[in-house]
Amino acid sequence: MSQKNLANYRVLKPGEPHPQGWNIPPVNDLRSAINLLKTLSGHYIETDREVDPNTELAGVYRYIGAGGTVMRPTRIGPAMMFNNIKGFPESRVLVGLMASRERVSALLGAPVHELGIQMADARKNVMPPVIIDKTQVPCQEVVYRAEDVGFDLRKILPMLTNTNEDAGPYFCLGLVLGSDPDDYDNVDVTIHRLCVQSKDALSIFFAPGRHIDIFRKKAEAGGEPLAVSINIGLDPAIYIGAEFEAPTTPFGFNELCVAGGLRGKPVELVECLSIKQRAIAHAEIVIEGEILPNIRVAEDQNSHTGKAMPEFPGYMGEANPLLPVIKVKVITTRKNPILQTLVGPGEEHVILAGLPTEASIYMKCEEALPGLVKNVYAHRAGGGKFLAILQVEKRNVGDDGMTRQAALIALAVYRELKNIILVDDDVDLFDTDDVLWAMQTRYISDLDTLFVPGVAGHVLDPSQQPLYDPRLTAKGTTGKTIFDCTVPFHLKRTFIRAQFKEVDPSLWMPSLFS
């Protein structure tokens, strides 16, 4: 990100103590993240049993730790390394690194219930990436060139499918890095749906409004390809920071600055070998390529299933009939690389999407209504996007209306939100049972429900289409709802929960609280 785009942000200096005092762990790549998890009980496991990357690996992890909106039975469990991938003796596959708030807390350094606040802080206190020399760069230890005889990315990297209906193998955690054709330093990083189409080609799906797609369209208008690097196997701070969206990260904002803010040190980049683009220097795998102008393919051209892959709402995404194509030029890897992936609708996606959602809402509410919104939770039932719980602390009678205003701010700042539940500060917003208790005792449907009809939502919600609701004129449009489950300020004294004596329970049952 160029210096002109940093004018409105505080730029941290390398080594500067974190303003909030969080104990940031020494993680700078995937391997150091794994080493940290190995010191924590119940957060990391490995298996040497052979597994087929075609549907079997995802089928196994569905039971181990997928969680999220995956069809039951599933659960939140440890990250899992598969060391024996059928057909790929030199590769390993890791799934579930970020599929637990407790695990992400350990990896980022903030307490579990403050992760969204930590993200908001990193968005305000940024650290731009730096370019390092190519000498002994980890991500370029091994090089495969498309011009080489026998090059086939399907034989170099494990090809993972989640279900039998998948359009093809997908890279589910490929961080795409692209630049504005008119400004090389105007960089955007985002995670997109990348389907392997041939030995040297991928299709890429852009949700509406993505900045790299704006870059692509600009390049295509000039008849030029757009150079991109696809980075796989990264420091989790990079993946999570990259999930911020406009307006929280406006056009021209490089989300790698957020990862730098989270770590207190800059993300290191290196120039690619075959294209004018940069890559994450400590990535496990980098795919260098170009998005070709005026070329489109059907996402399921090889399978003809009509489906794409499992998406975050818990349903199979529909295959897109006309997607841009990335022509692969070079693949670089570390020695014995780790292919990092996720199970589409699982808890890992919830956290990747949810933490920036929480941060975006918290930041804007704090700016507009200081001190009212205490915390935000992007609930896993909405895949980290559709459902938000806002915890407020009312201080006067005027805050009854301001609480609802906060919900409207949340809908404005994060357009993909569909439902918002407002709760008081004596309710644990991360405990669904407690939230539902508030709804049963502090909510009357025809008094405390606000409807916002006919506004932009998310195209992957199957209810947001004219076939479901004939009133809709376009896919990705919906009605939104605010459920005000807070006590009116003048009644707060009559809604005090039963108070119990404060004790140290570990004196009676140490094993439960160790």
Active site residues: 311
> What does the DSSP 8-state code read for residue 51?
B
CB 391 within 8 A of CB 373: yes
> What does the DSSP 8-state code read for residue 360?
H
The amino acid at 235:
D
Locate all alpha helices (DSSP H) within 70-125, ordered by sequence. Answer: 101-108, 115-124
Nearest one of 329, 374, 371 to 113, comparing CA atoms: 374
CB 18 within 8 A of CB 24: yes
CB 483 within 8 A of CB 440: no
Question: What sign for the dihedral angle of Cα 124, 240, 114, 411?
Answer: positive
Nearest one of 87, 76, 86 to 49, comparing CA atoms: 86
3-state secondary structure of 92: strand
* Length, in residues, of the chain: 514
Which H or E element spans position 235? none
Nearest one of 88, 296, 54 to 197, comparing CA atoms: 296
